Structure 1
Amino acid sequence: MVDTVIQAPLARRGLLFILSSPSGAGKSTIARMLLEQDGHIALSVSVTTRPPRPGEVDGQHYHFIDESEFHRLVEENALLEWAKVFGHYYGTPKAQVKQGLREGQDFLFDIDWQGTQQLYQRAEGDVVRVFILPPSLEELHRRLRSRNTDSEEVIAGRMARAQDEISHWDGYDFVVINDNVDNCFEKVRQILNSERMRRARQTGLIDYVRDLMNAPAP
């Protein structure tokens, strides 16, 4: 009987996996599905100045802070990226993310194109950018109304912003059309798994290959 040697997973640097889309195109749904089905990726918990929504937990969904605290973090260069969206500030704390990347932790970001640009400028090699498009503007409007969470005025504002957000699609590495949430999720998951296998991210690969090359032939 031949013994089978099981190779332990190679050491790997983590990645910053960005999902962006116009509001209502499905990025939050896809993000939730990834978090539920993939134990190796964690949501990057942003700081924000907006008030908590029903059901949101401080420290789990966001770190809720006031504007003076937010501006202090900006001045101290403690944020990887930040932006003002619909009158409120959002940003990504730097220290926790940098430590996690070194330890092989993947982080999921649900941010807009402005935050994506900033993050890419500061952590280019660690960033994977995915933009999710709706199948049509009509379908996007229908999805926003079906939420039953926003007024008609807010929905109109989101629709007005949507086309501007869509115009930045070419600043992303991958673009996926969300005409079916399960199909869209599968494509996004394939992108994530492929990016994890990039040679540059497999930090344990050099030693592994060196050992193979120096091992005596059986």
Structure 2
Amino acid sequence: MIELQGVQRHYAMSGQTVRALAGVDLHIGQGEFVAITGPSGSGKSSLLNILGCLDHPNTGTYLFEGRDVATFDDEASSDLRNRRIGFVFQSFHLLPRLSVLENVMLPLRFHRQPPPGTQERALALLDRVGLAERRDHRPSELSGGQMQRAAIARALLLQPALLLADEPTGNLDSKSAADVLALIDEVHAGGQTVVLVTHDNDIAARAPRQVKLRDGKVESDALQ
């Protein structure tokens, strides 16, 4: 599904060049669950942004399902991102004025012709994440764990090929974090490809494969 070859990403900051990624080679197959780990500044977020088509490498190749994403313009990247990739962030990014159901259905606003039966799928996803009875509530009426579960339901609405999770339990208490991680495990068990970025070794250990970054490069890539 994912193939990176020699991917580099650098930024100009205060007259200096910051090399966030310094030549990353990475292959991720359909249905894998991979944890991306590494110390602060190792390149985890930069790598996730490229995998999610939120950014482009300066050099190197990124193939997603055989397509060279590195050559895509903004419109093509946005289309791929909306149709094939789901995101779960540390900050839930739920719109406060919308109900839980409306937040879950938010990705439809970027589609001229939404797939049929999408509202029924949204309701089924809310039931799956234990929020069916909260569908008409506002985010402010939910706990942190409930908001993150709503965010996961939203990420899965259009049945993306890839789920990217960036420190998804960072703002949660231990019980809510366990619930969210169990849900991510369930998503993977259903055949979804999952890439999880975390600094927590215990969370990373849930993934069958761990890729550790250091100084913008892959330091290790191991199966558990």
TM-score by length of 2: 0.38
Point out the structure with max Rg over C-alpha. Answer: 1
After TM superposition, the score normalised by the length of structure 1 is 0.38
